[in-house]
Amino acid sequence: MLAGILTDTIRGLIGDQAIYFALAAIGLNIHFGYTGLLNFGQAVFMAAGAYGLSMTVVTFGGSFWVGLFVGAFVFPVILALVLGIPTLRLRADYLAMVTIATAEIFRLIARTPGLDKWTGSSDGLSGFARDFYDLSPFEPRQRYLFNLFQGNQMWVFVVGWITVGLMLLLTYLLINSPWGRVLKAIREDEDAARSLGKNAFTYKMQALILGGVIGAIGGMIRAIGTQSAQPDNFITDVTFFAWVAVILGGAGTIFGPVIGSMMLWCVLAFADTAMRQGVSSGALPDWLLTGTQVGQVRFMLVGSLLIFLAWRRPQGIFGNKEEMALDDR
Amino acid sequence: MTADTDVLAGVSPTPGSKKPDPILIATGVSRSFGGLKAVDVEHVEIQRGLITALIGPNGAGKTTFFNLLTNFDEPDSGDRTFEGKSLNGVAAYKVANLGMVRTFQLTKALSKMTVLENMKLGATGQKGESMFRAIFPFLWRDQDNEIESAADSLLARFKMDHMREEFAGTLSGGQRKLLEMARALMVKPKMVMLDEPMAGVNPALKQSLLDHIKGLKADGMTVLFVEHDMDMVQEISDWVIVMAEGRIIAEGPPKSISENEAVVSAYLGSHHDAPLDFGDDE
């Protein structure tokens, strides 16, 4: 029983969900943590990646590799331009409103039965990832890494974490450059940046595109991992999981979003398995908790963790308390 | 100072007077907010290489006019030229790149960046500020090092070198004013626009700020500043422009301004017959 809890917890810590949300959170961290953009629609960037790939392959019969390019660049860049051009000249809250609405609009359009032959409506699209799994060096029926993952999962695991590593490296290089300095200046005070000759609009647009592309890559890996792109994989909750990851780990830190995502899914997996085992073994009596309640209760536990963190460590795990305190002055 | 004001000796002390070598010219600039005409300036010229003060009672439209001159706000009508180039429709960030840099009434120190980062931000034409070059540090590292040593020498001049690694948010109000001015100099401007440089600065720092502003002139820069503090205006300015109710009502050398009837009535009401003593202003 304990072994089951342990493996599930570790799978939560380093498994597929942690990867997708780490990427979404890295992107969101560039938006919010470094540039101060309030993007409440990271789910739509993830969806852009998933649908960019799957529609290219399934709907239009293109190759997987073209699909990767469309999912990682074409769809999210167009999306960022559409979202950014009307809103980035305005106050930060306008972007927030537009992104949260766009995410829902996209999902509802993708669900529309009339668009079935393009988007697959509510069933979504599948069968686009064969070329990816063909390259896998792992045996699909074998289990790897102390029996944690099957072959195909293991392949997603390896490619996923390499991608996370590359995106962290990219973020690190960019943020520690003069470009990153301008982003931080815009986060602190846009007018000051403009008074010093920086074109704030262009930088905000670049940041929106970059964070969106990284989120889209996360969505694409999610589509590959689950071998399907479904509209309801990109509900508003997805955006807020990414936000939780950023805030848990520490906004405006390089590793924060990744560690935040790992912690989030680790706590969720632990709470889920531990409670289910408790219910089925009778350790948790029926009047206290039933099996069907577990799914909700685990989110309550994550919520409590967040409240605890906001109280004891508002800057997140990696954040700098001294830096955080400057807000109060 | 007398040597400098000689340049303007022949200039008539009337609103909108022509200067021998103007760096900044505004003509017919107006800006309304709803029914209120906040700025309505017929003509004004700012002489190159001097310190010009823009004063006026509260609500005179000084800061609005200032924003219009620096393109942080668009006028309803009117033309502005800086060094002979039109500023009409030019984005605010481009104005800085033309060589005119401003500070703000409410200081904009970038709190969560260090003093040094604040300074380095000010340098223009940085290669590493392009997103694609930023990824390759070897393309911009040398330039960044040069910028850092320029920043360090400016910090030393402003006696802030001991706090280069501190977050700007930990500085006092006066230190932030100093930092903002030093940061503006990183742009290597031809003209510096200071919006109330003395607001909220303690008397001990005031003197050093004054010296720094004089230093800007000594280095060949043109300075235009908005100010309430009349002692400061008398001490460092070569020329004073007075605004009231959105218009320029007087211009002239600082000594003559406090005796100007239009200025006295703008500050104190029209039935005041004693010469203006600005001692209790602020």
pLDDT digits (tens, 9 = 90+) for A271-321: 999 999 999 888 888 888 888 888 889 889 888 988 888 888 888 888 888
pLDDT range class, residue A41, cuts 50, 70, 90: very high
CA distance A304 to A221: 30
Interior/surface letters B16-41, b for 16+ CB within 10 angstroms, e for the rest: ebebeebbbbbeebbbeeeeeebbbb
The amino acid at A161:
W
- Rg of the Cα trace of chain A? 20
**Across all residues in chain A, what is the average pLDDT?**
93
Q: Which of B72, B93, B98, B180 to mutate to test the interface with A (most CBs of A within 10 A)?
A: B93
Residues 228-257 of A with CB under 8 A from B: 252
Q: Is B39 helix (H, G, I), strand (E, B) or coil?
A: strand
Q: What is the pLDDT of residue A309?
A: 85
Q: Which of B251, B246, B248 is CA-nearest to residue B64? A: B246
Measure in Å the smallest separation between the Cα of B169 and chain A Cα atoms.
6
A195 contacts B103? CB cut-off 8 A: yes
Distance CA B179, CA A45 (A): 39
Which CATH architecture best describes the domain A2-324? Orthogonal Bundle (1.10)
Which helix H or strand E contains B53, and what residues bound it? strand B51-55
What's the whole-model pTM score?
0.92
Separation CA A233–CA B118 (nearest Å) = 42
Contact B92 A195 (CB under 8 A): yes
Q: Scanning every residue of chain A, which has its alpha carbon at the shortest distance from the alpha carbon of B193?
A: A195
Identify the closest residue of chain A to B143 by CA–CA distance: A178
The answer to whether B134 contacts A326, with C-beta atoms less than 8 Å apart, is no
When the pLDDT of each residue in chain B is averaged and rounded to a whole number, the result is 89
Q: How far apart are CA B129 and CA A182, in angstroms?
A: 7
Using the structure block, give the residue that is written with the tokens 């742009």: B187
Q: Label residue A141 by pLDDT band (50, 70, 90).
A: very high
Task: Tell me the residue type at A207.
Answer: A
- DSSP letter at A56? I
B108, A323: Cβ pair inside 8 Å? no
Dihedral over alpha carbons A176, A178, A182, A185 (to 10 degrees): 60
Question: What is the distance, to the nearest Å, from the Cα of residue A202 to the centroid of all Cα atoms in its chain?
Answer: 24
Q: What digits encode the pLDDT tens for the residues A79-99?
A: 999 999 999 988 889 999 999
C-alpha–C-alpha distance, residues A50 and A216, integer Å? 7
Paired tokens of B20: 């021998």
Residue-level pLDDT at B280: 47
Q: d(Cα A136, Cα A275) in Å, to the nearest integer?
A: 35
Label residue A152 by pLDDT band (50, 70, 90): very high
Tell me if A185 and B128 make a contact (CB, 8 A cut-off). Answer: no
The C-alpha atoms of residue A31 and residue A208 are separated, in whole angstroms, by 6
Contact, B191 vs B100, CB < 8 A? yes
Q: Is B145 on the interface with A (CB under 8 A)?
A: no
Sheet order of strands, B100-102 included = B100-102, B191-195, B222-226, B51-55, B239-244, B247-252
Give me the residues paired with residue A231 across strands: none
Write the single-letter amino acid at A208.
L
Q: What is the pLDDT of residue A306?
A: 83
Give the pLDDT score at A85: 95
| Whole-angstrom distance, CA of residue B168 vs CA of residue A99 | 32
Helix (H) or strand (E) holding B106: none
Helices (H) and strands (E) in chain B, counts: 11, 10
- Give the separation between CA B128 and CA A174, rounded to whole angstroms: 9
State the Cα–Cα distance between residues B244 and A177, nearest whole angstrom: 46
pLDDT at B272: 53
Question: Are residues B101 and A177, on separate chains, in Cβ contact within 8 Å?
Answer: no
State how far residue A166 is from chain B, nearest Cα, in angstroms: 12
Q: For chain B, list residues with pLDDT below 70.
A: 1-5, 268-282
User: Nearest chain A Cα to B183, which residue?
Assistant: A196
* Cα A131 → chain centroid: 24
Task: Flag if B167 and A193 touch (Cβ within 8 Å).
Answer: no
CA distances from A256 to A35, A247, B159, B204 (A): 16, 8, 36, 43
Measured between CB atoms, does B141 come within 8 Å of chain A?
no
Tell me if chain B has a CB within 8 Å of the CB of A181. Answer: yes
Nearest residue in chain B measured CA to CA from A320: B112
Q: Which positions 103-132 of B are in contact with A (Cβ < 8 Å)?
A: 103-104, 108, 110-113, 117, 120-122, 124, 126-131
Annotated domain spans of chain A: 2-324
A196-246 pLDDT tens trace: 999 999 999 999 999 999 999 999 999 999 999 999 999 999 999 999 999
Is the CB of residue B72 less than 8 Å from the CB of residue B92?
yes
> Is the pLDDT assigned to residue A143 strictly greater than 50?
yes
Report the residue from B144, B170, B187 with minimal CB separation from A196.
Answer: B187
| pLDDT recorded at residue B274 | 57
CB A37 within 8 A of CB A31: yes
Residues from chain A contacting residue B187 (CB–CB below 8 Å)? 196-197
* Contact between A123 and A231 (Cβ < 8 Å): no
Q: Tokens 């390089």 map to which residue?
A: A254
